[in-house]
Structures are given as structure tokens and as C-alpha cells.
């Protein structure tokens, strides 16, 4: 994502030059491209496309799926070269706003499929009272744990941070690794620490704003030392060399029962649900200093946007697919991923994350602190600072690198605070 901001500026200056260059298929078949940037959801979307094609043989939807950061790089280059995919999944972010301002994305307000979105979730995605981002699910961050392992050893769910570290000591003392980590995939580490920031830095919105404006430094931010200490402590309670393990490695460690827990988001549940697990998993919130401090990070998860500049024939095909995607497709997506649904009338099985439901019901949730506040380049450098903290344990260096991540690129044009 780091290159995204630079090319968006070029696109904004040259958007008027975009040609209508989307080729249609022969024999009355219309081609629609779905560019997938979330590798873990590719298999689900493939099945949805296969089911759709049985009903609409005159529309050929092709999913383009690339692993990891490669998808972001390819998408950035394609947009720069005026080759915008017909449909692609994206996130609520500053770059989304930039693409909207550049005229790249279509306003889908008032469409049949947009009307399927839960109103409260849709409101999170509005830009100037218009809807461009279509959310299918919302997410949460939490601690996944092996239910049978916990029950067999008599381990209790920790309610406070101290209880979590005491539990880790107990687990290690019984010869088991507490946490599986996948810090080579920087987003795993970065997203989890966003959760920690939201719980332990009570004034993060105002404090980030002050850092952007040069009125304070990250080192002076309330709770930031707690954040650094938590990252360092977790590194003591995971497998050796966490920076050598990526997302799939992390999930494999947990799925193979080599660890008792792993920290990640609900967007990884589909990876677990498609495995033949020999145990049941459940999720508890990463605890605050006290039980009353604990909250759950939750925001828009899987969501798609569509290109603004397509032929009328292709637009009909895109609309037809999206109507399916946000009806029967959404039912399948939620069933397999088990993620909280953003589509009205579709309810997931919440048994694996029932411990989080009281937080949703009581409003003890918050969105990812970086959303609508950081540029992609800022997030990339923040991630690198965290990986360096895992490697060295040097808090002072972490504060400096985190501070540079915010100040080197400046405050986004639209800062939500």
C-alpha cells in the first residue's frame, strides 16, 4: 500500500484521460473482473462466482487473486495506468477517499444491493453522504484459543492483562507455547497493536492529531509505553523467531495444536473453518488493565468497490453480479467465514465468539485507530517500527520510528476526529 498515495496524486491529475478500454467477451458473454486483494477470502469468492455462473451463463466473472502485498502493488500500478478492475475489494481508508475524489469509483447509493447493507454499517462507509464502499461483513480482533486444551488444563479465560501474563507463565510451565505469532506478515502484528492502542491509549484520536501537528511526540502519548511493553511481553510468550513466520505459518501452529492461542482478526476465521481441526476454537477479547477497561476493536471488514468508467453493457453485468453477491453470495460468505454480517437478514453462527457479544451489545467497541487518520505510507512505516520492536525490544527506538511514521508523510487531507 505504501506506493498508493503517490500514484493517486498522478491519477487525480490525469483522470480525464482515462479511456473506455474494458473489452467485452464474444458470443454475447460479458466479462467482469473481480480483483481480490484479500488472499484469505479467495476460495470463498471462487465458489460464489461458480454458483453465480450457473444462473447467469451470459456473464463471465473472473477472480484475479495474488498473494500478500503483491496484490496491492499490482492494483496500484493498474490504477495508475488507467486499468481499473471492474470490481475489487478494498478497505475504509484514506486511499479510498483519494480514489473517490479522483473519480475512479462509482457511487452505488440507492442500488438494490446497497439497500441490503445494514444502515449503521453503511453509515460508516459514507463519503459526502454517498456510498462507494459496499461492506459484506464487519470484523473483530481477539485472542483465539483452543477450547479443549483450556478445559483439559483447567485454564480460565483472563479478565485482565495481569491474568493474561499469569496464564502465559502457567502454559509455558506446562511445556506448551502460549501464542502463535506471524509477525513476518506485518499486517498481523500491526492490526493486533491497533487493538492494543485502542484499549490502552484513551486519547489516541486527539494525540495522533497533536503528533501530526507537531504539538507532541509519540513518546508523550498516554498509554504508549503500555503498548510497547505488551508487544515485548507477547514476544516472550510465542514461538522463537516470530518474524520468520507469516500468516499461514501462524494459523498452522495453532491448528496443529502446537500453541494454545493466537491473536488475530475475524477475517482469518475462514482459514480455520476450512481446516479439519481436531478441536474447537473460541475467541476472547485482548484484556485491558482491568476488566472494565476491556473493549473490542471492530470495523468494516470485507467490502467491495466498482469502477466508475465502464460501458453500459458491462454496468448491467456488474450490477447483476453484485445483486447476487449481496444476497445468496453473502449467505455463503457469512456461513463459511462466520464473520459478523453487514447484510441485513443474514445471521452468522456466533458460538465461537460469544464472549465478545456483550461488548458489541453494550457498545464497548471502537474502530481501528488508523482508519481515516493515517496514510498508507504512515501505516507501512508504523508496521516496520513494530517489527523492529519485536526484533530488538528497544522502546525508545520504537517511539522515534513511530513518530517519524506519522510526521514524515503529514496529516491526511481528510482527518476524522
Residue 95 pLDDT: 83
Q: Are residues 146 and 279 in the same domain?
A: yes
Asked whether residue 355 is domain-assigned, the answer is: no
Number of domains into which the chain is organized: 2
Cβ burial of 9 (10 Å; 0-12, 13-18, 19+) is exposed
**Residues of the chain above pLDDT 90, percent:** 69
Q: Which of 90-99, 175-184, 303-312 has the lowest mean pLDDT?
A: 90-99
Q: Are residues 214 and 284 in the same domain?
A: yes
Residue 171 pLDDT: 98
Asked whether residue 332 is domain-assigned, the answer is: yes
Expressed as residue numbers, the domain containing 108 is 4-135+303-338
pLDDT level of residue 68 (50, 70, 90 thresholds): low
Q: Are residues 122 and 76 in the same domain?
A: yes
Q: Are residues 111 and 53 in the same domain?
A: yes
Asked whether the predicted pLDDT for residue 356 surpasses 50, the reply is yes
pLDDT level of residue 372 (50, 70, 90 thresholds): low
Asked whether residue 413 is domain-assigned, the answer is: no
Q: Which of 12-26, 321-335, 366-380 shows the highest mean pLDDT?
A: 321-335
Residue 415 pLDDT: 58
The predicted model gives 120-124 an average pLDDT of: 85
Residue 94 pLDDT: 78
The predicted model gives 62-89 an average pLDDT of: 89
Q: What is the pLDDT of residues 224-236, one digit of tens each?
A: 999 999 999 999 9
Q: Are residues 85 and 157 in the same domain?
A: no
Q: What is the pLDDT of residues 274-286, one digit of tens each?
A: 889 999 999 999 9
Asked whether residue 359 is domain-assigned, the answer is: no
Asked whether residue 414 is domain-assigned, the answer is: no
Q: Are residues 209 and 123 in the same domain?
A: no
Asked whether the predicted pLDDT for residue 8 surpasses 50, the reply is no
Asked whether residue 354 is domain-assigned, the answer is: no
Q: Are residues 256 and 399 in the same domain?
A: yes
State the average pLDDT for the chain. Answer: 90
Q: Are residues 253 and 294 in the same domain?
A: yes
Residue 317 pLDDT: 98
The predicted model gives 36-48 an average pLDDT of: 87
Between residues 40 and 221, which one has the greater pLDDT? 221
Asked whether residue 43 is domain-assigned, the answer is: yes
The CATH number of the domain where 246 resides is what? 3.40.190.10
Asked whether the predicted pLDDT for residue 330 surpasses 50, the reply is yes
Between residues 71 and 47, which one has the greater pLDDT? 47
Asked whether residue 345 is domain-assigned, the answer is: no
Q: Are residues 233 and 380 in the same domain?
A: yes
- Domain end position, chosen among 289, 321, 338: 338
The predicted model gives 177-183 an average pLDDT of: 98
The predicted model gives 340-358 an average pLDDT of: 92
Q: Are residues 102 and 146 in the same domain?
A: no
Q: Are residues 202 and 332 in the same domain?
A: no
Q: Are residues 46 and 183 in the same domain?
A: no
Residue 269 pLDDT: 85
pLDDT level of residue 271 (50, 70, 90 thresholds): confident
Amino acid at each position: 500500500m505504501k506506493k498508493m498515495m503517490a500514484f493517486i496524486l498522478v491519477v487525480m491529475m490525469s483522470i480525464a484521460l482515462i479511456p473506455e478500454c474494458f473489452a467485452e467477451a464474444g458470443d454475447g458473454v460479458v466479462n467482469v473482473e473481480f480483483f481480490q486483494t484479500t488472499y484469505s477470502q479467495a476460495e470463498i469468492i471462487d465458489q460464489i462466482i461458480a454458483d453465480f455462473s450457473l444462473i447467469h451463463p451470459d456473464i463471465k466473472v473472473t477472480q484475479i487473486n495474488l498473494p500478500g502485498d503483491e496484490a496491492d502493488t499490482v492494483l496500484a500500478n493498474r490504477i495508475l495506468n488507467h486499468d481499473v478492475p471492474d470490481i475489487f475489494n478494498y478497505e475504509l481508508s484514506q486511499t479510498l477517499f483519494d480514489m473517490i475524489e479522483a473519480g475512479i469509483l462509482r457511487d452505488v447509493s440507492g442500488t438494490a444491493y446497497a439497500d441490503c447493507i445494514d444502515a449503521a454499517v453503511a453509515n460508516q462507509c459514507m463519503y459526502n453522504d454517498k456510498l462507494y464502499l459496499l461492506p459484506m461483513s464487519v470484523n473483530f480482533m481477539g485472542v483465539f484459543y483452543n477450547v479443549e486444551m483450556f478445559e483439559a488444563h483447567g485454564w480460565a479465560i483472563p479478565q485482565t492483562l495481569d491474568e493474561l501474563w499469569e496464564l502465559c507463565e502457567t502454559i509455558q510451565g506446562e511445556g506448551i507455547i502460549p501464542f502463535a505469532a506471524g509477525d513476518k506478515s506485518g499486517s498481523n502484528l500491526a492490526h493486533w497493536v491497533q487493538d492494543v492502542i485502542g484499549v490502552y491509549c484513551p486519547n489516541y484520536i486527539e494525540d495522533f492529531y497533536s503528533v501530526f501537528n507537531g504539538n507532541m511526540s509519540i513518546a508523550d502519548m498516554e498509554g504508549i509505553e503500555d503498548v510497547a511493553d505488551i508487544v515485548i511481553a507477547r514476544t516472550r510468550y510465542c514461538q522463537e523467531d516470530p518474524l520468520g513466520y507469516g500468516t499461514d505459518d501462524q494459523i498452522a501452529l495453532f491448528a496443529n495444536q502446537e500453541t494454545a492461542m493466537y491473536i488475530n482478526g475475524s477475517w482469518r476465521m475462514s482459514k480455520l473453518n476450512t481446516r479439519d481441526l481436531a478441536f474447537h476454537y473460541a475467541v476472547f477479547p485482548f484484556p485491558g488493565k482491568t476488566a472494565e477497561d476491556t473493549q473490542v476493536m471492530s470495523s468494516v471488514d470485507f467490502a467491495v468497490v466498482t469502477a466508475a468508467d465502464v460501458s453500459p453493457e458491462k454496468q448491467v453485468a456488474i450490477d447483476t453480479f453484485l445483486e447476487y453477491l449481496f444476497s445468496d453470495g453473502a449467505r455463503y460468505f457469512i456461513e463459511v467465514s462466520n464473520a459478523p454480517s453487514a447484510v441485513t437478514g443474514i445471521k452468522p453462527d456466533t458460538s465461537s465468539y460469544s464472549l465478545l457479544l456483550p461488548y458489541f451489545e453494550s457498545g464497548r467497541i471502537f474502530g481501528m485507530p488508523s482508519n481515516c487518520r493515517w496514510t498508507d505510507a504512515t501505516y507501512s512505516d508504523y508496521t516496520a517500527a513494530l517489527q523492529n520492536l519485536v526484533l530488538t525490544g528497544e522502546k525508545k527506538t520504537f517511539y522515534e520510528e513511530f513518530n517519524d511514521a506519522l510526521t514524515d508523510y503529514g496529516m491526511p487531507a481528510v482527518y476524522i476526529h
